[in-house]
Amino acid sequence: MSTCRGCGSPDVERVVDLGPMPAADCFPAVDTPVTADETAHPLAMNLCRDCGLAQLAEDDSVPDEPRGVEPQALRDQAAAAVRAAASEGLLVGRTVAEFGSPHGGTWLPLLTEHGFRVAAAGAAASVVLDSFGIMHAPDQRAAFRERASAVAPGGVLLLQFHSLATIVSGGQWTALRHGHYAYYSLTALRALLAEVGLYVVYAREFELYGGTVLVAARRTPRAVPAAETRNILEKETAIGVTDVSSVRRLQRAADTQSRALRAWLESSARRRRRIFAYGAASRAVALFARAGLNRRLVTAVADASPAKQGRRMPGTDVPIVAPEVMLTAEPDRVLLTLPDLLPEVRERYRELEGRWVPLDGYAQAYQQEGFINARA
């Protein structure tokens, strides 16, 4: 887009350009060949110089992602976020509405446990939920207006997002993907919310994805921002989340990490090591494609979702299989595409202890001589 999805400003600048990529949310059947059309979807990030919103530049892909299984880490964090909101007195009123995420998961049962009832369709609610949902809206201005109108008088919007500060400081360039139209900092989010008459009254950071922020917004602003809100804003300023040159570090991370992963896998292949991956995650699609992975380097990707099994990673011939297939193969190493799953998979698949290689995307995890630590 030539204008900002959030504020409409024409002053947007390209900060990351990965070139043509496979669609991140379209997993073809395993027996279909990879075509030029499959890998021809532009993938780039723009940054608005006016409001500071990082955003998907364009998206010509057609969403068709098979439903995944919600990880335990995500469920645990949702429960922690609701507990935090309750302790801050933010669970006001008695009705709740939710703007869901296409990736699944819901906070509604957590709210009904607190005595809330789900608001009628189209009715305003005293608590409005959005956990990783609003980023999927191409028209960000309209999405914020829609959520503001859903908040009843005296109510609160609880909105959770993967922090741009974490993405930039950790080199998490794989967060950029088709279907994700916005990448928020608290700095930019405050401005977008203020445009629709909502003001941040509370913000807290959680460890999920290396840094996930829960925001509470109401129609009456706080006279003085809370200490944790100020701390998050100060950290964002230090990282430079609204600075073009700072956010462009993601481009360098993409180049470095892709080469490092390819080098490690080539080295493993020469040593005749069998490598599997775990988690057919959409955020792994660009990395697999950019690193030029194939079945010679990664035998298969195991995933717990039956809907993804029998498909392949977009842009590659790497099949997606059931975890039982991986266990039977007894791989030498398992590349974990979602590091937050590590406690869960270590407990579930104890026979693979010592073989997990978390793919966390953090720049500091990539050393000059290779992709992983000394276990490789």
154-203 pLDDT tens trace? 999 999 999 999 999 999 999 999 999 999 999 999 999 999 999 999 99
Indicate the pLDDT class of residue 285, thresholds 50, 70 and 90. very high
State mean pLDDT over 352-358. Answer: 93
- Residue tagged 């990529």 (tokens): 21
The residue type found at 191 is A
State mean pLDDT over 238-247. Answer: 97
State mean pLDDT over 70-91. Answer: 92
What's the mean pLDDT when you consider all of the chain?
91
Residue-wise DSSP of 242-296:
T-HHHHTHHHHHHHHHHHHHHHHHHHHHHTT--EEEE---GGGHHHHHHTT--TT
CA of 229: how far to CAs of 38, 199, 341, in Å?
Answer: 42, 12, 28
Give the distance from CA 152 to its chain's centroid: 29
State mean pLDDT over 239-250. Answer: 97
* Distance of alpha carbon 148 from alpha carbon 113, whole angstroms: 24
Residues 6+ apart with CB under 8 A from 61: 23, 24, 25, 26, 41, 178, 179
Which neighbouring-strand residues pair with 129?
98, 158
pLDDT at 363 over 90: no
State mean pLDDT over 191-217. Answer: 95
| Contact predicate 94/118, CB 8 Å | no
> Of the given ranges (100-104, 212-216, 255-259, 313-317), which has the lowest mean pLDDT?
100-104
* Distance of alpha carbon 122 from alpha carbon 359, whole angstroms: 41
Model-level pTM greater than 0.85? yes
- The tokens describing 13, both together, are 């600048």
19-37 pLDDT tens trace? 999 998 889 999 999 999 9
Half-sphere CA count of 76, side-chain side, radius 13 A? 11
Indicate the pLDDT class of residue 292, thresholds 50, 70 and 90. very high
State mean pLDDT over 293-298. Answer: 97
Indicate the pLDDT class of residue 373, thresholds 50, 70 and 90. very low
How does strand 275-278 pair with strand 212-218? unpaired
User: 79-118: buried (b, 16+ CB within 10 Å) or exposed (e) per residue?
Assistant: eebbebbeeeebbeeebbbbbbbebeeebeebbeeeebee
State mean pLDDT over 267-280. Answer: 95
pLDDT at 272 over 90: yes
pLDDT at 246 over 80: yes
Beta strand residue intervals within 147-262, DSSP E: 151-162, 182-183, 199-206, 212-218
pLDDT value, residue 93: 96
> Of the given ranges (81-90, 217-226, 263-272, 296-305), which has the lowest mean pLDDT?
217-226
Which neighbouring-strand residues pair with 312?
319
SS3 at position 140: helix
How many residues comprise the chain? Answer: 376
State mean pLDDT over 311-322. Answer: 97
pLDDT at 68 over 80: no
pLDDT value, residue 174: 93
| Contact predicate 160/215, CB 8 Å | yes
